[in-house]
A and B are shown apart, each in its own frame.
Chain A
Amino acid sequence: MDLSIFIGGQAGEGIKRGSMLIGKVFNRFGYNVFILNDYGSIIRGGTDYSEVRVSNEEIYTSYNKFDYMFAFHMDVFEKYKDKQKENCSTFTDDKINFDSIIRSVDGQPFMKPSIVLGMLTYLLQIPVDFVIDVIKDDLKEHAPKNIELFMAGYNILKDKNEQHIHLLKGTNTPKPLLYGNDAIGLGGVKAGMKVYAAYPITPSSTLLEFLAKNAKRFNITAIQLEDEIAAINLALGSAYAGVPSMVGTSGAGIDLMGETISLAGAVEVPIVIVDVERVGPSTGAPTYTEQSDLNLVLNVGHGEFPRIVLAPGDIVEAFEVTAKAFQFAWWYQTPVFILSDKHISESAQNVLIPFSNNYPPLIKTFDQEEQHYKRYKLNEDGISPLAFPSMKDIIVHVNSSEHTEEGYSSSDPKNLISMKEKRLRKIKTIEEDFKLMKFINVFGKESDVAVVSFGSPKGAILEAIKDLYIKFIQVISLEPFPKEALLNELKDVKKIISIEQNSFGQFANILESKTGKSIYKRVLKYDGRPFNVWELRNIFKEVVK
């Protein structure tokens, strides 16, 4: 059982909120759920839809072919109707008068998804009381009207004696159903984040909104600043004062943060930076997904300094990678990037997130006995002991200008060399440490064909390799690049297929140059839509043949 439900309409018709409610019902009914939100960058008049995919098997992405289509307007149906599976049931504006149902209970357009939920409940014969309980739980005081609409939807199909099936209760224990951005926020909180600063930009804004809404109970401050430059400078100031801080944005915002990312590298103050990628260049297509900022985050900021770039491949990893990003930023005292994208950050899945894991802050503390604190003390691993203002008998000078061990400005040639080399030693330390950590994932079967990728294509790839003799290597750490681990996994591989969502093949280029291996087939997609399982499967079959 693996079914996909399409709910399409315009902005303002509650599509996103409604798909979450429907997802919740299936989650509690014991199924795996994945929700994709496809929406335009306009407030009215667009054709938005959500796909709620429900399965009793493990699923990792949207399916992009539908068993049920509910469309509040004909144009949204027309636009996507070729994605119907065989026997797809469609309920469009001309068959079901959604507007008049809304009017009949004096409801609002954004409540239309409740009608859909009623129709689905009938079509799949889910117990009505069970669904009503979920609505009550989810919508609280707004539940009564939505329950009326839900019943109206149910009764319309019942009265028509519409063809239905009987979906048995699934066997899964319900799991948290959350968006990737929620997971990133929770990962930060779990790792001790206290300040989150941002400027609104799709698809990262929901991270700011989630953290701002829950700031009190998370014991954090989540604030909006006048621009991305202010956001990252504020966060860096907080970090200098001893408080773990994070900023989040999308590509254009990373451009603006560039000078401060370089500053963070120079002053060796920890900072976690989330880039939720969208389609570029420039304003591009803000609500669609792409992986074209890889080169940017690997290179942004002038001069030479250590950095770490981590790309989660799904919502669970979004949580874990964020929590680890804080540990790395504070241990190595350098910028750490989390490279997400719209498909991870704004999709939802019910997942088992390791909330009980702890990610204690790791900090190299200084020797209290020492008379004279030196912020940039030279040592073997390039990581100097960290101290903060307000600590008794300690003065902390940090300095964007090249500095002495004490933090005073100095462009003396010997000093320039020793500080550069300190940072080079830090890069080396990070590289050596990362060799010991597992920053690739390997899936599938031993084979002489291997798929390599990073980030959100993971989901579609995992499903597409099922039953095929293909190995899938997912790279999580892009900097440092896990060259040795990859070479080891690619030892007996004859054909490498790379998968990424951009047109340059940025990841493929890096992989080839770092490992010296050549890629047999580069699969590049840049239509803003996530990879389809069935499209990838056809490509893979062709190669293993």
Chain B
Amino acid sequence: MNLATDRKIQWCPGCGNFGIYNALKTVLEKEIENGTLKQEDITLVSGIGCYGYITNYYHLNSFHTIHGRVPPLATGIKLANPNLTVIGFVGDGDAFAEGMSHTIHAARRNTDIKLILHNNAVYGLTTGQFTPTSPHGFKSRSTPFGNPENPINPSLIMLLSNATFVARGFSADLKHLQYIFSEMLKHRGFAFVEVLQPCVTFNNTYQFYKERVYKVEDLNYDSSNLKSAVDLLMKDDEKIPTGILFRTNLETYEEQVALENYYLNRNEVPDLTEIINEFI
């Protein structure tokens, strides 16, 4: 099983997007080989940014959509066909600037979609402006004297928005990322994975992260407790936790709004002549 397409990958050599691409590819290939997923039932969605080209490189159904709108589009796909595994790729600019509200609303609805955030804390494709996750003081092409804003913490926002699965990985740790992605695929409901992704060209954070990341799996950490997850992410120290930060099970949005209507391929139209008598 090889999910690669014949497209030449166009990211800068050393870009953190490679790690995300490869880790997910390995996991999906394994799932397909094991028969736990069917190739035709996987659908990928990506927004606009360097990372967004990722859908060109998987031989899987995909919708490369516009900047910021991945969550509602992915929700619509899942709603229409509950058999699909819908994985959305989003950028920090894409999902936490332009599309911030969609991301929060998808989380609090517990839409059964997976979102993978390529968090490089910079706008890659538009060549190096600051994003909502760039640190205060960050010198970028649009903040030559330093970022005047304070950064947001995407995983924390997702926790507080009732996401039922929140995890964080580092794109240089492939094995750990594979573990997170396979857990993500097992989750029923809204799953959010933030991947710390160095942009070698505009924000090379390899060394910075290498010195700071640690895995909660190595500690005695209880990922079922929302409060401890929030506390962990609020902790004001140099260390950066990765791993599965929180997970719980709730009824999904699709289960609630689509009711028993598994309507895909059910082309029959209700008999309106009956209904219309009520209008007389």
Contact = CB atoms under 8 A, between A and B. Distances in A.
Interface in B49-69: 53, 55-56, 59-66, 69
Given A238-B79, A395-B60, A389 B41 contact: yes
Contacts of A175: 280
B53 to A, nearest CB: 6
A401 B64 contact: yes
Contacts of A195: 76, 79-80
Contact of A235 (B43, B48, B76): B76
A219 B40 contact: no
Nearest to B101: A226
Given A221-B257, A225-B105, A409 B56 contact: yes
B79 A230 contact: no
Interface residues of B, number: 54
B219 interface: no
Interface in A517-533: none
Interface string B25-43: 0000000000000011101
Contacts of B75: 234, 237
Interface string B263-280: 111111110110110011
Given A241-B81, A241-B264, A263 B65 contact: yes
A242 B264 contact: yes
A178 B279 contact: yes
Interface string A375-389: 000000000000011
A216 to B, nearest CB: 7
B5 interface: yes
A175 B40 CA distance: 48
Given A243-B81, A259-B66, A233 B76 contact: yes
B232 interface: no
A422 interface: no
Given A190-B272, A192-B269, A396-B61, A241 B76 contact: yes
A235 to B, nearest CB: 6
B279 A237 contact: no
Given A233-B72, A391-B40, A408-B56, A400 B273 contact: no
B8 to A, nearest CB: 10
A182 B48 CA distance: 38
A245 interface: yes
A23 to B, nearest CB: 10
B77 A240 contact: yes
A225 B111 CA distance: 12
A223 B270 contact: no
B55 A397 contact: yes
Nearest to A227: B101
A374 interface: no
Contacts of A220: 261, 263
Given A226-B101, A243-B81, A399-B64, A234 B269 contact: no
A545 interface: no
A390 B83 contact: yes
A136 to B, nearest CB: 14
B84 interface: yes
B4 interface: no
A182 B102 CA distance: 29
Interface string B153-176: 000000000000000000000000
Given A229-B72, A392-B40, A355 B272 contact: yes
Contacts of B59: 395
A176 B259 contact: no
Interface of A: 24, 27-28, 174-178, 182, 186, 189-192, 194-195, 197, 214-221, 223, 225-227, 229-231, 233-243, 245, 259-260, 263, 267, 353, 355-356, 358, 361, 388-401, 407-409
Given A216-B259, A241-B43, 15 more contacts: A190-B269, A192-B267, A219-B270, A229-B72, A229-B102, A230-B71, A236-B73, A237-B75, A237-B76, A237-B78, A267-B65, A391-B40, A395-B60, A397-B55, A407-B62
Please name the 8 residue pairs, one residue from A and one from B, whose CB atoms are nearest each other, closest first: A237-B76, A241-B80, A176-B279, A234-B76, A389-B61, A243-B80, A238-B80, A233-B72
13 contacts: A176-B276, A194-B80, A216-B259, A229-B69, A230-B105, A238-B80, A260-B66, A260-B69, A263-B65, A389-B43, A397-B61, A398-B63, A408-B5
